[in-house]
Amino acid sequence: MTDKAGPRLRAGRSGGQSLVLAVGLWVAALAAQAQGVAPTPQQIDQIRQQQEQLQRDEQQRREQLLRQQDPARRLPGSVGIDTAPELPDGPDGGPCFPVQRVELEGAARLDAATQADIARPFIGQCVGLKEIRELMREITNRYVEMGLVTTRVYIPQQDMSNGLLRLLVLEGKVGEIGLSDDQAGVYLATAFPGLKGKVLNIRDIEQGLDQINRLGSNSATMELQPSEHPGLTNILIRNQPRHRVSGGLTLDNYGSPSTGDLRGTLNLSVDNPMGLNDAWFGSFSRNLDADSDERLSESALIGANFAYGYWNWSLNLSKSRYVSMISSLTQRFRTDGNTETYNLGVQRVLSRGQTSKLTLNAGVTHKDSKNYIEGSLLSTSSPKLTDVQIGLTSVFVAGAGSWTLDASAARGIKAFGVVALPEAGTGNVPTPFGTRYNAAVSYFRPLPLKGVDATWSSSLQMQTSPHFLYGSEQMSVGGLFTVRGFDGTSLSAERGLYWRNDIAFTLPPPQESSARWIGRLQTYVAVDVGRIFGREGQITGSLAGMVVGVRAVGGPIGFDVGLGLPIYASRSVEARGSIEGHAVYARASLSF
């Protein structure tokens, strides 16, 4: 669909839907008129757009915080035991025997095809001690590739004159799992469930360490120790936990002019309060620069994460509300609203290697939004939505960089009071039972610049849907979390994408003492592009913007100051009105 001008600043609305929504909004307007306030149709449309954008902005902040807590997006930890042990040298001389068959006793984890592949180079050969050691090394390597690093291969006493070579494989098993210190603050039963007595797979150990170390206060390591029982290996976990309670205060100007630009945020995390390697976190944000009776934006989030082996469960609850004023030449009237969101999620690590991990994600989310004009509920823009999600997340190292791939699908369901409006799904009214598909690709790598510590990070986000969705479920481009450089200008629709790129240069600290407080100083340049694909009769448009700035990261005191500049806006956006020439982003934080 080509770019074309339309009657609104935002994309994603057809004329039919505007008529239906306007009728519903006018019902609230008539109620407001009884109080002496009668918004015009243009003001009603402005209210709806503002309400949807405020809800989307708050949802983007919530999703950003939850991504930081998501264990599926972290690269797998490695204990560095991924090489086969050196076999003792021995004499290469001595007799050799023709081998017609190789038999591996105890190799339960190697299927027949793998055993045949290992033995093939030695069949029909005259095999001596040198060749037998090569065969033992190959068998050991295959086990190490599977993570079975304590498996050993032995040569039993035998007569090879019949052409049969027998090797004994002892697949090492887990003995005792213990802590080096009673004060380690680790619950082993949920980190390493059911491992005792099973074949020792280093991936299981790494997974358990990841579950322990997903708590920011932990830095657990492990040591393999010989057991007094043959074939068993004990696992010793060492950990020196730091403070179990951590948090931070943030001051930024990431708010909205209609509800207050200046925002204060308190974040708090509590590790292991139940003694189950559980993680709890909360956040509260509020605008600081406005009267709460006329301009207000505040939100609260609380969440918990529980781990059990290769599984994680999460529960998140959040609530946000806003107040803003809409003015005409002769009147001012109050709009306000709130959204409650509940999410229950489960994750299962399907596979992991030394530098890769694949996770299955599933969950259910319920949202309850209410919007008002002068105290009258706007039913057409106050939906209850419940959807179920399923997806895959893959993280891995390839070449000089690390990748994160996400793919997911979500479907609205009739649960927890969700009711469709009349004509929902006809193309004129959004449906609460739509399906949407999302995909994302993220990449991070250091840049090979001589004498310069530089990194490049890139992220591509995409969404599509065959259905007419509510505004909170659409993709939006334009703003701090999508296409930077545009303050107050955004487009949204069911289908769209945006691509963000950041190049950061780390500067030497001015003094060593300052590095202790502010960590690393970085200058950065970011370029973002985004495009929305409107439905038939809607607007398709593109935005491109950039940011240049300086920030301090990695220390208890942080800051980020950036100047955002619009680079390009398609005609469908420019035709709607003026675009601000720049946007200034500022944030200061204190961690404790």
Residue 141 has pLDDT above 70, yes or no: yes
262 lies in some domain? yes
Residue with the larger pLDDT of the pair 516 and 22: 516
The pLDDT mean for the chain works out to: 87
Please indicate whether residue 522 or residue 575 has the higher confidence score (pLDDT): 522
The pLDDT score that the predictor gives to residue 452 is 87
Q: Which domain holds residue 231?
A: 173-238
Calpha distance 106→97 (Å, rounded)? 23
| Strand-strand pairing, 173-179 and 232-238 | parallel
- Measured distance CA(82)–CA(148) in Å, rounded: 9
Identify whether residues 403 and 464 lie together within a single domain. Answer: yes
pLDDT value at position 233? 96
* pLDDT on residue 218: 94
Q: How many CA atoms lie within 13 A of 126 on its CB side?
A: 4
If pLDDT is split at 50, 70 and 90, which confidence band does 30 have? very low
Residues 249 and 219 in one domain: no
pLDDT of residue 572: 78
**pLDDT over 80 at 513, yes or no:** no
Question: 224 and 272, same structural domain?
Answer: no
Strands 356-373 and 384-398: antiparallel
Residue 435 in any domain: the answer is yes
- Rounded to an integer, the average pLDDT of 561-571 is 93
Is 420 contained in some domain?
Answer: yes
510 and 587 share one domain:
yes
User: What confidence tens digit (pLDDT) does each residue in 298-326 have?
Assistant: 999 999 999 999 999 999 999 999 999 88
pLDDT class for 5, splitting at 50, 70, 90? Answer: very low
| Mean pLDDT for the stretch of residues 201-224 | 95
Residue written as token pair 């080509």 = 2
Q: Residue 584: give its domain's CATH number.
A: 2.40.160.50
Mean pLDDT (whole number) for 337-342: 96
When pLDDT is averaged across residues 504-532 and rounded to a whole number, the result is 89
Q: Tell me, yes or no, whether 486 lies in a domain.
A: yes
Express each pLDDT in 364-396 by its tens digit: 999 999 999 888 898 878 999 999 999 999 999
3-state secondary structure of 73: helix
Do 349 and 214 lie in a common domain?
Answer: no
Residue 464 confidence (pLDDT): 98
Q: Are residues 316 and 456 in the same domain?
A: yes
What whole-number distance in Å separates Cα of residue 515 and Cα of residue 536?
55
Q: Which of 185, 212, 238 finishes a domain?
A: 238
Does residue 88 fall inside a structural domain? no
Residue 567 has pLDDT above 90, yes or no: yes
Q: Domain count of the chain?
A: 2
* Domain assignment of residue 278, yes or no: yes
Q: Sheet with 232-238: list strands edge to edge.
A: 173-179, 232-238, 221-226
Block residue for tokens 């390697």:
277
How far, in Å, are 281, 495, 524, 544 from residue 251 at the CA level? Answer: 19, 33, 20, 27
The one-letter code for the residue type at 585 is Y
pLDDT tens digits for 452-476? 899 999 999 999 999 999 989 999 9
Query: pLDDT > 90: what percent of the chain?
Result: 65
Structural domain includes residue 328: yes
7: number of Cβ within 10 Å: 12
Q: Which pTM was predicted?
A: 0.86
CB 170 within 8 A of CB 151: yes
Q: Can you give the pLDDT at residue 93?
A: 61
CA distance linking residue 242 with residue 221, whole number of Å: 14
Mean pLDDT of 442-460: 94
Contact status, residue 347 vs residue 360, Cβ threshold 8 Å: yes
> Does residue 81 register a pLDDT over 80?
no
Confidence bin at 185 (pLDDT 50/70/90): confident
C-alpha distance across the termini of the chain, in Å: 51
Long-range contacts at 147-153 (CB < 8 A, ≥ 24 apart): 147/201, 147/202, 147/203, 147/204, 148/109, 148/172, 148/199, 148/200, 148/201, 148/202, 149/81, 149/82, 149/200, 149/202, 150/200, 150/224, 150/233, 152/85
Q: What is the pLDDT of residue 143?
A: 96
Phi, psi angle pair for 49, to nearest 5° = -60, -45
Q: What is the pLDDT of residue 14?
A: 38
Here the CATH number for the domain that contains residue 216 is 3.10.20.310
pLDDT, tens digit, 9 for 90 and up, residues 214-273: 999 999 999 999 999 989 999 999 998 899 999 999 999 999 888 889 999 999 999 999
Residue 34 has pLDDT above 70, yes or no: no
For the chain, the 3-state helix, strand and coil shares in percent, each to the nearest 5, are 20, 45, 35
410-424 confidence digits (pLDDT tens): 999 999 999 998 888
Asked if 408 and 389 touch (Cβ cutoff 8 Å), the reply is yes
In this prediction, residue 70 carries a pLDDT of 86
Q: Give the per-residue pLDDT at 65.
A: 82
**Sequence-ordered strand ranges (E) for 413-540:** 435-447, 454-464, 475-477, 491-493, 495-507, 519-533
Q: 525 and 446, same structural domain? A: yes
- Residue 520 and residue 434 share a domain: yes
Q: What local confidence, expressed as pLDDT, does residue 23 receive?
A: 41
Q: Are 500 and 526 within 8 A, CB to CB?
A: yes
Q: What average pLDDT does this structure show over 390-405?
A: 96
User: Is 24 a residue whose pLDDT tops 60?
Assistant: no
Residue 11: pLDDT above 60? no
pLDDT number for residue 216: 92
Q: What is the reported pLDDT for 465?
A: 97
pLDDT at 17 over 80: no
Q: State the Cα–Cα distance between residues 477 and 460, nearest whole angstrom.
A: 12
